Chain A
Amino acid sequence: EVRLVESGGGLVQPGGSLRLSCGVSGFDFSDHWMGWVRQAPGKGLEWVAIIKKDASEKYYLDSVKGRFIISRDNVKNFLFLQMNTLRAEDTADYYCTRGSYRPFSYYYMDVWGKGTTVTVSS
């Protein structure tokens, strides 16, 4: 069974840091792009970041560039999102996603985790 399980969410003060993890099982992790999508309370989906199979390419939402870092461990089958200098507007459910990518053509997310909640508040 294909599974993505997020962890690491919680309450953090503005300006603080948090590291999200996503444990993967049921498929060849190193053969897939991976990413994070978030959803603020009562709002729509917002893409955050994606990372290539071998981590040689990474792309970010403009508002998180320079603050968030996406990474992966293809040995232990984990995806990470290091979130620094957190702001109130980063408050959201964060979903780990598996991606399907074709250069210059498409990227879509065919498997989603259940999400982990990040709350940025003093």
Chain B
Amino acid sequence: SYQLTQPLSVSVALGQMANITCGGNDIGRKSVHWYQQKPGQAPQLVIYRDTSRPSGIPERLSGSSSGNTATLTISRVQAGDEADYYCQVWDSTTVVFGAGTKVTVL
């Protein structure tokens, strides 16, 4: 079965840039989606199909994917970006999630 690998945690200073990686075999050939989950809340889609943002998601959040790594980038990090982030792909007939990355804003 297909597996996605994310770092357990990422720490970033307020106003700086955070990169959250999602590793998978030839993931660049798949369509990658990202979800943000703040404490006590339901997940929310923030990036779909590698690079697209749903309505209402700020341009500070962006996605890219190539080779064996997909990346969610958060520019000019704000305190409100502190959350868990999950990557996700579709593999045959299965939805696959990464284990999630906790982003801490310092």
Interface set of A (CB-CB < 8 Å, partner B): 35, 37, 44-47, 50, 59, 61, 95, 100-101, 105-115
Pairs A–B under 8 Å by Cβ, sample size 11: A44-B97, A47-B97, A100-B48, A106-B33, A106-B48, A107-B90, A108-B31, A109-B35, A109-B43, A109-B88, A111-B45
Interface size class of B (residues with CB under 8 A): 20 to 34
Contact check, B99 vs A44: say whether CB atoms are below 8 A apart. yes
Q: Which of A35, A61, A107, A111 has the most CB of B within 10 A?
A: A107
Q: For the complex, would chain B's binding face be called helix, strand, loop or mixed by DSSP majority?
A: strand
Contact check, A115 vs B42: say whether CB atoms are below 8 A apart. yes
Across chains A and B, the number of contacting residue pairs, with CB separation under 8 Å, is 63
B100: interface (CB < 8 Å): yes
Q: Residue B44 contacts which of A47, A61, A108, A112 (CB distance < 8 angstroms)?
A: A112
Output the least CB separation between B85 and chain A (Å): 11
